[in-house]
Chains A and B, each alone.
Chain A
Amino acid sequence: DAKTTQPPSMDCAEGRAANLPCNHSTISGNEYVYWYRQIHSQGPQYIIHGLKNNETNEMASLIITEDRKSSTLILPHATLRDTAVYYCIAGYSSASKIIFGSGTRLSIRP
């Protein structure tokens, strides 16, 4: 599994785009990047994942650099309900351990 590095905390104004970075410089060519978030004490929620191309779904967009050493999760119009801890995980094989880092605590200010 590739090691990931995320800033411990960020904040964003409500209605603006929240851009959360993640470094995963040791990722292998066939390993995916995944993003999850955990709101308060709930179970973590899957957001999005990608391999090489940028991805978008109803929750967010994922931008992966061409060298795949970093990625950015974009919440296009942040709301107060997006306040959570966001975890980036890079690469795991089918039967491997899936280890979470410390994540980024995102605060949305009114």
Chain B
Amino acid sequence: DAGITQSPRHKVTETGTPVTLRCHQTENHRYMYWYRQDPGHGLRLIHYSYGVKDTDKGEVSDGYSVSRSKTEDFLLTLESATSSQTSVYFCAIRDRARDSPLHFGNGTRLTVT
């Protein structure tokens, strides 16, 4: 399995509080992605990164920010968590080769009360 660690694995927080999720990789892959998945729905892209300090928005980026200060870490921040951000969050990585596939972490289950 690809060396991807998401932390925390579970988190319960209150509406209005800031939350940061971490994705850490040991593969030295260039590209990193954050997705969310809600019950009965597929994966939706939040933000992605194509290098250190290089990030871009995905399909559902409102209410989220990201940072990538070093290759191995991609942080997802909810500045002020809302109940609609209750979800499972998946991080994925991909190498720089043109046909490289995605490899996913095990997810973080976030509940905003």
A residues engaging B (CB < 8 A)?
A: 32, 34, 36, 41-46, 49, 51, 85, 87, 93-95, 97-103
Contacts and interface: CB of A to CB of B under 8 A. Distances in A.
Main secondary structure of the interface of B (DSSP, over half): strand
B101 A95 contact: no
B50 to A, nearest CB: 4
Contacts, number: 60
Contacts of A49: 99, 101
Given A44-B43, A44-B90, A102-B42, A97 B56 contact: yes
B101 A100 contact: no
Interface residues of B, number: 26
B101 A46 contact: yes
Contacts of A34: 101-102
Nearest to A43: B104
Contacts of B105: 43
Interface in B37-83: 42-45, 48, 50, 56, 58-59
Contacts of A85: 42
Contact of A98 (B33, B96, B103): B33
B33 A43 contact: no
Interface in B1-59: 31, 33, 35, 42-45, 48, 50, 56, 58-59
B107 A46 contact: no
B102 A44 contact: yes
A41 B89 CA distance: 11
Contact of B43 (A32, A45, A100): A100
A100 B42 CA distance: 7
A35 B94 CA distance: 15
A110 to B, nearest CB: 25
B45 A97 contact: yes
Contact of A43 (B94, B98, B107): B107
Contact of A94 (B35, B50, B101, B106): B50
Contacts of B35: 100
